[in-house]
Amino acid sequence: MKYIKNKLTIEKISIQSIAKKFGTPSYCYSLNQLKKNIINFKKSFKSFSPLICFAVKSNTNVSLIKEIKKFGLGADVVSMGELMIALKAGINSRKIVFSGVGKTSREISFAIDRNILLINAESKSEIQEIHRIAKLKGKKIQIGIRLNPNTDAKTLNQISTGKKENKFGVNEKTFLELVNYCKISKNLELKCLSVHIGSQILDNRPYEEMLGVIGKIIDKTNHKFEFIDLGGGMGITYDEKDKKLNYKRYSKEIKKFLKKYKSKVIFEPGRAIIGNTGILVSKVVYIKKNKEKNFVILDAAMNDFMRPALYGASHKTLPSVRIRNKSKRSYEFVGPICESTDKFVSLKKFQEIKEKDLVVICDVGAYGMSLSSNYNMRPKPPELLISGSKVKVIRKRQKHKDLL
Ligand code: LLP
């Protein structure tokens, strides 16, 4: 995205023309940026050719998953619905891993029937259930066990998953017990140790600590893991001031680890692949001033994009037309929903704005549309895929009649 003659454009199309043709609010994705992200990710870790399983939860649009599939990626899914959409996008079932703490019998059975690569189990009860279903079907199922390494990912508390107080994975003691359980089972084949310590990680050290913990546990198991699934979590720079996760350093650390442990690495990135590809275009409905604040009331709301309301996340917010010498004001950008948390961002120096202007919220490709809802009976926005000067509607705007 850049300003061309002061008009904000995504690839070769101005935000103004998108809004005129498709209305607001609308999600738009840059295909070119998506391709760049995948190529960059693959290149950064090519020395050990990991299996890259896109975390479908970050964006469930089938057209986008089809594009991702073209680069040979697999999928990380956490529900039957996500497994269905990954298969619908044409992802090879032997490149699909199934994570999550509460897979139901129906979901496990469905996954087994689709012959996916791995079911990554997260508790003793779940492993027993997989065993029971596998036995019933007379099959031997490839599984992983998710370890909770008790590692602080140094990210937002709400999106930390690898500390001992989190519900995810099992601790070392249970992990070792479960390895033994699998060894004696005729219907389970323990292929993988998996971890995922959190999301939006920008510091390399938690990953390094995590690798240390994994190594120590593998030593104790005396088991050869064909796969080590390191999860996702690689952060992106929402703010230019954010530090960057150093892929080169992470790659080196993994290479070092693999010298001793010789497994195939699986990654489950979501945000790193899709996060910076998407924007949300919205229009100013009203400007409302009181003694304390200037509220810019947008036609997008927390139901369309939840991250600020849910995590206090802050996203770069830009005017669709830049006017260089315009005076700057302090604004609070909010949505029309009846909740005080329906607020996107407060900015101290934003160019003076007026009703009907367009505003773009950036970096919403991950956990944007996938976290949206119909709260307040609001139909969901459309999704548009931009490629050069072409726009393809990859999800239609919902209509009120879809909700009634
Ligand atoms: N693998 C597992 C097992 C996960 O739980 C997750 C994310 C991922 C992979 C992908 O993580 P990523 O590479 O995208 O960071 N809604 C939150 C993020 C929640 C992430 C949940 N798990 C947000 O908007 O920040």
* Residue extents of the structural domains in the chain: 2-29+276-403, 31-274
The whole-chain average pLDDT of the chain stands at 96
Q: Where residue 153 falls among pLDDT bands split at 50, 70, 90?
A: confident
CATH architecture label of 31-274: Alpha-Beta Barrel (3.20)
Given this model, what pLDDT does residue 178 score?
97
Ligand 1 atom showing the smallest separation from residue 120 Cα: 3
Each residue of 326-369: pLDDT tens digit? 789 999 999 999 999 999 999 999 999 999 999 999 999 999 99
CB atoms near residue 283 (< 10 Å): 18
Each residue of 159-212: pLDDT tens digit? 778 888 889 999 999 999 999 999 999 999 999 999 999 999 999 999 999 999
Given this model, what pLDDT does residue 160 score?
78
The third-level CATH classification (topology) of the domain covering 2-29+276-403 is Lyase, Ornithine Decarboxylase; Chain A, domain 1 (2.40.37)
Given this model, what pLDDT does residue 234 score?
98
Each residue of 108-143: pLDDT tens digit? 999 999 999 999 999 999 999 999 999 999 999 999
Alpha-carbon gap, residue 285 to 288, rounded angstroms: 10
Given this model, what pLDDT does residue 210 score?
96
Smallest CA separation from ligand 1 atom 6, residue = 232
Given this model, what pLDDT does residue 248 score?
98
Is residue 192 among the annotated active site residues? Answer: no
How far lies 297's CA from each of 52, 280, 283, 327, 357, in Å? 40, 15, 9, 20, 11
How close is the Cα of 284 to the center of ligand 1, in Å?
A: 31
Which residues are within 8 A (CB) of 10 and not within 5 positions of it... i.e. 6 or more apart?
1, 18, 28, 30, 279, 386
Any residues with Cβ below 6 Å from ligand 1, and which? 55, 58, 76, 99, 159, 161, 196, 199-200, 231-234, 268-272, 307, 311, 366-367, 371
Q: Where residue 158 falls among pLDDT bands split at 50, 70, 90?
A: confident
Of 28, 192, 338, 362, catalytic: 338
How close is the Cα of 233 to the center of ligand 1, in Å?
A: 6
Alpha-carbon gap, residue 356 to 339, rounded angstroms: 23
Q: Is the pLDDT of residue 83 over 90?
A: yes
Alpha-carbon gap, residue 299 to 162, rounded angstroms: 37
Alpha-carbon gap, residue 200 to 302, rounded angstroms: 20
List, in sequence order, every beta strand (DSSP E) within 71-127: 74-77, 96-98, 118-121
How close is the Cα of 274 to the center of ligand 1, in Å?
A: 12
